[in-house]
Amino acid sequence: VVVRGELAFIQRLIERLPQPPPGQTWAGDDAAVLVEGRLLATDLLAEGIHFDLDWCEPADVGWKALAVNLSDLAAMGGTPEAAVVAVTVPDEGVADDLLDGLLECAERHRCPLVGGDTSSGDELVVAVSVSGTTKPPAPVLRSGALPGDTVFVTGPLGAAAAVLARLQAGEAVPPDEARPLLRPEPRLEEGRAAADEEASAMIDVSDGLALDLHRLCQASGVGARLEASAVPVAPGATLEQALGGGEDYELCFTGATGGIRIGEIVSSPEVLLDGEPLPPTGWEHAL
Amino acid sequence: VVVRGELAFIQRLIERLPQPPPGQTWAGDDAAVLVEGRLLATDLLAEGIHFDLDWCEPADVGWKALAVNLSDLAAMGGTPEAAVVAVTVPDEGVADDLLDGLLECAERHRCPLVGGDTSSGDELVVAVSVSGTTKPPAPVLRSGALPGDTVFVTGPLGAAAAVLARLQAGEAVPPDEARPLLRPEPRLEEGRAAADEEASAMIDVSDGLALDLHRLCQASGVGARLEASAVPVAPGATLEQALGGGEDYELCFTGATGGIRIGEIVSSPEVLLDGEPLPPTGWEHAL
């Protein structure tokens, strides 16, 4: 469930923005599209909402804060250019650990961290912003899906939710197994490949397949029919976690080839799973 | 005084970044310089550190959060392209008011707000990031000042500190008079004019002239001699506030024409005021 304030703020932002020039797309997609297909996006992680330092390290938070932004670029078919980070941190040790994870992710995904700002604060809040580039046929928007398009995802779903459930139950999950939740990998190559194959629409599965596919369908003015047996469920996860758990950071795209086929786009605006309505429920805040 | 955590985080970030490609400048200047002189910067405002909602409105915070980022672009001689905002907000009313101020500043300075992310949080934290463009001879770095260059500022200093002192003393300052603190104007035109005149170095006076001129001199490997009588003191402010108050968001630049002449660059690394050492003290956090 998305917090109410979030909906209000982003919805009002979208409503109140002036119309962008032709070819640009502002708020409402995974990243904003500026002139020449350049991308700009921001995403924040807040302690007590997105993570709990009882079950993750500041370095994990650093990694993830950048990774979720890179996932937004991936969902447009983009390539990272640079990142900046603004943080409130309770102490220097946390700041230094956070930086470890940020720089690790930056190096892994070739997105240099080029600047930052910081302030002391009781809670750790990490806001990363990224710029990126695209080349045609990218950027791929959420709004281009057409009836008849096949719906794909780039990998198994539910792993992050399954790990979160174990951590919240107090289990000591080994780092390797916790990786889908704590160190997600943005699907940059997969996103570019889908764009090259002229995907008609794309979104990252950050809040759960059900909710994010609803968003894609709503932006495109279409619906979708999914087959439950086709949804790739990660080992250790349930179908419910795969559909509604969120934080997997796989991509969902339509109308190209490649990926795992899970259903098709239809003109009627509902999203159906095996013929039954699939409600747009998604990621619950971790706390 | 800059908080210790801030120094640690930004300093370590600078130390640990890989070397940028030729022509690019990453952390350590007002904004990062990417390919083709494009700029990326981020700055955050945190409740209890940078502002107190007892003496300002969320809309003021919104305005200022964007304005201080635009000031970073101004200090490079840049032009704003787009902004994104990541916030933690305590409730919807605050979020909406914040957006009022952000959009007002965005329109005033022609920098569209193109996206955002938000989360609930006990305290208001606003992290804005901006992208910008430059054309040669911009971008102007902090590091190009040469002995013999004249030092200029773009306007009177100390107004923000004078207003802050009145607010902290419990005085009800009329909005028009509080504007230098609550609604600063980034000096974008002045920054571009200084760049066009081939300014050798530039910085924004966000933390006070003494501290920011020290930073410029340190980056350039030079010193400066200022004349106290030449420092433009804002009406109602003291010379001390003009030198160390901070948050004025005027620009300080060297080696061009235009602006108000306050001294000159020398090869010896000290910053002197009327022949006496000027300590690098600057902006104290508002609380």
Q: What is the longest distance spanned by two Cα atoms in chain A?
A: 54
Question: Which carries the bigger pLDDT value, residue B16 or residue A21?
Answer: A21
Do residue B86 and residue A31 have CB atoms under 8 angstroms apart? no
Give me B44's structure tokens.
């955050």
Interface probe with B: pick from A98, A125, A207, A285, most Cβ of B within 10 Å: A125
Locate B145 and state its tokens. 């000042």
Give the pLDDT score at A40: 98
Low-confidence ranges of chain B (pLDDT < 50): 1-5, 284-287
Instruction: Verify whether the Cβ–Cβ distance A129 to B42 is below 8 Å.
Output: yes
Beta strands in chain B (DSSP E): 32-33, 39-46, 79-89, 113-120, 125-133, 150-153, 201-204, 223-226, 251-254, 260-266, 271-273, 276-277
pLDDT recorded at residue A2: 42
Mean pLDDT of A2-25: 75
pLDDT-based confidence at residue A285 (cuts at 50, 70, 90):
very low
Contacts of B3 in chain A (CB under 8 A): 119-120
Letter for the amino acid at A112? P
Cα separation, B211 vs B257, whole angstroms: 23
At A263 the three-state DSSP class reads strand
ipTM over 0.85: yes
**Is the pLDDT score of A146 beyond 90?**
yes
**Angstrom distance (rounded) from CA B261 to CA B242:** 15
Give the list of residues 6+ apart from residue B1 with CB closer than 8 angstroms, or none: B281, B282, B283, B284, B285
Q: Give residue-wise pLDDT tens across range A191-245.
A: 999 999 999 999 999 999 999 999 999 999 999 999 999 999 999 999 999 999 8
Maximum C-alpha span of chain B: 54
Looking at this protein, which amino acid is placed at residue B83? A
Instruction: Determine the pLDDT at residue B171.
Output: 95
Q: What is the 3-state secondary structure (H, E, C) of B215-231?
A: HHHHHHCCEEEECHHHC
Minimal Cα distance from B50: which residue of A? Answer: A119
A8 band by pLDDT with thresholds 50, 70 and 90: low
pLDDT tens digits, one per residue of A53-107: 999 999 999 999 999 999 999 999 999 999 999 999 888 888 889 999 999 999 9
Segments in chain A forming alpha helices (H):
4-16, 58-74, 92-108, 159-168, 175-182, 188-196, 209-220, 239-244
Would the CB atoms of B12 and A103 count as touching at under 8 Å?
A: no
Q: Is B8 close to A95, i.e. CB distance below 8 A?
A: yes
pLDDT of residue B4: 42
Could you tell me which residues come within 8 angstroms of residue B170 by beta carbon, excluding any fewer than 6 positions away? none
Chain B residues whose beta carbon lies within 8 Å of the beta carbon of residue A51: none
| β partners of residue B85 | B116, B128
Per-residue pLDDT at A3: 43
Instruction: Give B127 to chain A, closest Cα distance, Å.
Output: 6
pTM above 0.80, yes or no: yes
Give the phi and the psi of residue B177 in degrees, each rounded to 5. Answer: -75, -25
